[in-house]
Each structure stands twice: as C-alpha cells, then as structure tokens.
Structure 1
Amino acid sequence: MNYVGMFLSGAVLFLNSLTLLGKASQKSVAFLNIIVGTLQIIFPIYLIVTSNQTNWDFYNNAAIFLFGLTFLYVGATTLMRLEGNGLGWFSLWVAIIAIVYTATSFIHFHDIVSGLNWAMWAFLWFLYFIINTTNKKIHYYVGIVACIQSWVTLTIPALLFFLGISNNPSVNQGMIYVLILSILYFVFSIVKQRISSKSEVSLTNNSRVAS
C-alpha cells in the first residue's frame, strides 16, 4: 500500500474511531469515507494499468482496494441507513485476506513492520465483523483500537516516509516496539474486560443467592 494511501486512510480511520467513541456523528464522517474510498478505487486502477503487470504489482495495488472498498461500504451503509451485517461479513472476508498479507510480509518479504501492521488491520477488520453481525457491545473498545491504529499503522509511518527517515534502522526498530506495545495493550484490554465481566456476573449471582 503506498504512503499517500496510508496517510489518507489514517485520517478516515481516526474519524471513524471517533464515531465509535461517540465523539463525532456517523453522517458527518461518512462523506470523508466516500471521498477517500473513491480515490482508493481510482488510483490503484491507474497504477495497475500503468504497471509492469507482474503478480506483485497486482498484490501491492490490491491492498489499496481493501481499504477503498471498506471506506466506501462504511460511508454507503451510513448515508443509506443500511443494515450493518453486509459490512460485517465483508469485513470478515477482508480480515482473512489481511492474514495472508501478514504471512507474506513475514515469510516472503521479511518485513516485520508491514507484518505487524497487517496483523493489526486483520484484527480490526475482525472486530468490525463482530460489531456488525452480533449483539456484542464492544464499540468503545473497537473505537480505541481504531484510534490507536490510525496513528501507529497509518499516519505516523506515512509521515516518517514523507520526512525521508522511514528506512532509518533506529526508526524502524522504534516502530516495531510501538506496534508490539500496541498489540499487547489490545490483548491486555480484552483480558481486563473479560475479568471485569466475570466479576460482575459473580457479584450478581452472589447477591441473588443472598437475597
């Protein structure tokens, strides 16, 4: 995925996270989803047409489509007031594709940063599948995950590239630490939430027995 696309995706994901956190209205953010989603459909088509047509050209540009289609789907679902289950199942499909990109980054390209990025995006798309196809009330958690990812996997890497320091070994190592810490925070938050939920259930059951 090219860095301009990452930069734009960072902006959209940040605003989408604010809607999940209740800080911004979905309708106002939907327009940016449509705009960036459209751009990320048009640009990769141009890049594919003007490329050498190798399998890796298609592989790299297809990644942009994943984000573009997601943003268009989110925007259309909001503006047209559609049910979210279609978006949810689409997100599951994208999450599975993102796992393939994760494995390819680690195994074929030996790119730890890209591999961690794709792993985190796969997790986020899977969370979108859950909130759009189940009754689980995890919107706040998904909002936090999306907000963090909008910066550490998209906006900051793009800015580092624009500044010409993304290939610096120290910067690259620093990004690995940031991504790993982010993943550990996501896991810790899930464990903490599950423990809290079990404690609440236990207290409720004990109060019923006592009464």
Structure 2
Amino acid sequence: MSNVGLLYVGVILFINGLMLIGVIPGKSAAILNFFVGGMQVVLPTIILIQANNDPAIVLGAAGLYLFGFTYLYVGILQVTGVSGEGLGWFSLFVSTCALVIGIIQFTLGDTVFGVIWWIWAVLWFFFFLLLGLGKESLARTTGWFAILISHLTATIPAFFLLLGRYESNTALALGMAALGGIALVMAMVIGRRARVAAAPAASAPALIVT
C-alpha cells in the first residue's frame, strides 16, 4: 500500500469513527471521504500504469481501491441520504479480501501487515453488520473500534514507512494483534455501555404515556 495513502487511511478511519459515535455530522465527514476516496482511486491507477505487471505492486494497488471505493461510497451516502445496504454488502466483500490479503502478507514475510489487514477485516465486517444487516445497535461499537485502530494500523505504520524505519517480525506482529484485540474489547464494552445508557431514554415515552 502507498505510504502516503496509508497515512490518510488513518485520518479517515478516525473521522468516520467520530461520525459513527455522533461527534461529527455526516455531511461534514463526507467532504474528507471524497478527498481521501478520490486520492485512493487516483493513486493506485497511477501505480498500475507504472507497475510493469509486477504482482506485488498490483496487489498493493488493489488494496488501495478497496479503501478508495469505500470512502467515496460513504461520502455519497452522507450527501444524498441513500440507504447504506449496498455499502454494507460491499464491506463484506472488502472484509473477505482483507482476510486473503492478510494471508498473502504472511506468506511474503510481512507478519505485521498480515495482522493489520486482519484487523481491518474485522472493522469492515462490523460495517457489514451495521449497514448490510441493519444492526444499528453496533454503531457506537463500530465507531469506537474505527477510532481506536485508526492510528494503530495506519497513521503510525505510515510514519515508520515514510521515515524508512518500518520493521516486521513475529514479536511486533504479536504486539499488533494484542493491541488490536484490546481495541476490539474496549470498543465492545463502550458500545454496550452506550446501549444500556440509551435504553432508559428509549423507554421513557412509554412510561409517561402509562
């Protein structure tokens, strides 16, 4: 994946996570989704033109398209108000591809990015549950998971790559997996607390009517 593109994956995951937990309005988040989504489509196109059919380069470009189309789709939904089922089922496709790309990264010896791709697979599966299957109760869990992994899986690795100091080994991969697991548990706990806190408010009108 392009190092510059990876940097902006971090910021857009952070912004979209804030949108899902209600901190940022959808139309406000849409603008950055269009910017980053457009970049994640233009960059891989340029990369493919110059790739000389190199399989590794083509694979990296394919990953960028998965993200680019997601963010453009999010931007369009927020601006038009169209329902998100299509994006949800597309997210299932992205999640499956991320699992496969993670396996490929392991076979290529990059265990850290193998784990990162699997963490992204979990996030996009949450997008599928939320949008494709209409599990609206998972909105805050999904949002917090996106926030917690945004810089862990994208911004920080991007800076190491840009500085030429990126390393990948089993110990770092295990550390990344542990942090990803902690982020998932934290997101689920926060999401559950938010649902419990919202439950009395949801039932209040019924009590008043009674």
TM-score (normalised: structure 1): 0.83
Change in Cα spacing, 1:190 to 1:168, as seen in structure 2 (3 Å) is closer
CA deviation profile, 1:150-188 (whole Å, cap 9, x unmatched): 11000011112223322387xx84564144222244147
* Correspondence for 1:124: 123
Q: In structure 2, what is the Cα distance between the partners aligned to 1:54 and 1:174?
A: 28
* Correspondence for 1:75: 75
**Deviation of the 1:23 alpha carbon:** 0.9
Q: In structure 1, what is the Cα distance between the partners aligned to 2:20 and 2:118?
A: 21
* Correspondence for 2:181: 183
Amino acid in the other structure paired with 1:53: N
Map 1:18-167 → 2, pairs under 5 A: 18-106=18-106, 108-136=107-135, 137-167=137-167
Q: In structure 2, what is the Cα distance between the partners aligned to 1:180 and 1:139?
A: 23
TM-score (normalised: structure 2): 0.83
Q: In structure 2, what is the Cα distance between the partners aligned to 1:30 and 1:188?
A: 26
**Deviation of the 1:55 alpha carbon:** 2.5
Q: In structure 2, what is the Cα distance between the partners aligned to 1:9 and 1:62?
A: 15
SS of match in other structure, 1:138: helix
Counterpart contact for 1:152–1:179, Cα < 8 Å:
no
SS of match in other structure, 1:67: helix
Change in Cα spacing, 1:189 to 1:31, as seen in structure 2 (3 Å) is closer
CA deviation profile, 1:91-125 (whole Å, cap 9, x unmatched): 0011111111011112x212210111000001111
| Alignment length (residue pairs) | 194
Structure 1 unmatched ranges of 5 or more: 201-211
Counterpart contact for 1:19–1:26, Cα < 8 Å:
yes
Q: In structure 1, what is the Cα distance between the partners aligned to 2:2 and 2:76?
A: 24
Q: State the identity %.
A: 34
Amino acid in the other structure paired with 1:145: F
Q: In structure 2, what is the Cα distance between the partners aligned to 1:83 and 1:189?
A: 25
Counterpart contact for 1:92–1:126, Cα < 8 Å:
yes
Counterpart contact for 1:14–1:150, Cα < 8 Å:
yes
**Deviation of the 1:190 alpha carbon:** 4.4
* Correspondence for 1:209: none
Counterpart contact for 2:115–2:176, Cα < 8 Å:
no
Provide runs of 4+ in structure 1 moved above 6 Å. none
Structure 2 unmatched ranges of 5 or more: 200-210
Amino acid in the other structure paired with 1:10: G
